[in-house]
Structure 1
Amino acid sequence: MRKLMSFISILLVLALAGCENVSYHEDSSQEELDRNQQLESQLPDIEFDNERDFVIFTDSPATFLEDETTPEAINTAIIERNAFLRAKYGANVVVQEKDTETLINELDAAQKAGKVVCDMISVSAKDSVKLYTLGLLGDMNLLPEFNLENGFFDKSLFMPLATNNSLYLLADPCTLVYDSTNVIYFNRNLVKSPEIKEESGEVSEGEEPKFAPDVETLAMQGKWTWDKFNEYARASAPNSYSSSGSNMNTDNFGFGAEKTGFEFPAAMWVSANKPFVSNSYKTSLELSMDIEETKEIAQYFRKLYSARGRFPLGDNSAKKAFEEGRIAFYCNDLNYLYTLRDGSSKGEEYGILPIPKYSEEQENYRCLINTDAHVISVPKTLETADEERKAFVSAVISATCGAGGETAKDAYLKSMLGMYLNNNAEVVLTKTIVDSAVFDFTVTYGSEIYDIARGTINAVTNHITEGVHLDNYLKIADKYFKGYCDTNFQ
Structure 2
Amino acid sequence: MKRLFSILLLFLLITQTACGDKSDDVPSDDTEKVSETVTDETEPEYVFPNLDWDGDTFTVLNANTTWGFYHYMDFEEQTGEKLDDAIYERNRSVEEMYNLTLEIVEDDIDTNYEKYRTSILAQDDVYDVAYIRCDRISSFMEEGYLYNLLDYPEFQLDEPWWDQVIREKSLIGDKTKLYFAGNDFSLIGFEGTLCCYFNENMLYDLGLETPYDLVRDGAWTIDKLHEYATAGANLNGDSSFAWDENGSAIYGLASYEDSLNAFITGGGESYVSIDENGQPVLLNNAEKFYDIIDKAYSIYNTEGEFIFMNGSGNSHYEMIFKNGRSLFTIAEIKASSKYRDMEDTFGIVPIPKYDEEQEQYYSHRTHICLVMSVPVTNQRPEDTGKIMDTFSYLSYTDILPIFYNEKVAQKGLRNEESIEMLGIIAETRSFDIGEAYAWTEELSGAVNTSVVNQKNNNVASLVESYRSAIEESFKKTLEFMEG
TM range (shorter): 0.3 to 0.5
TM-score, normalised to structure 1, is 0.41
For the pair shown, the structure with the greater C-alpha radius of gyration is 1
TM-score by length of 2: 0.41
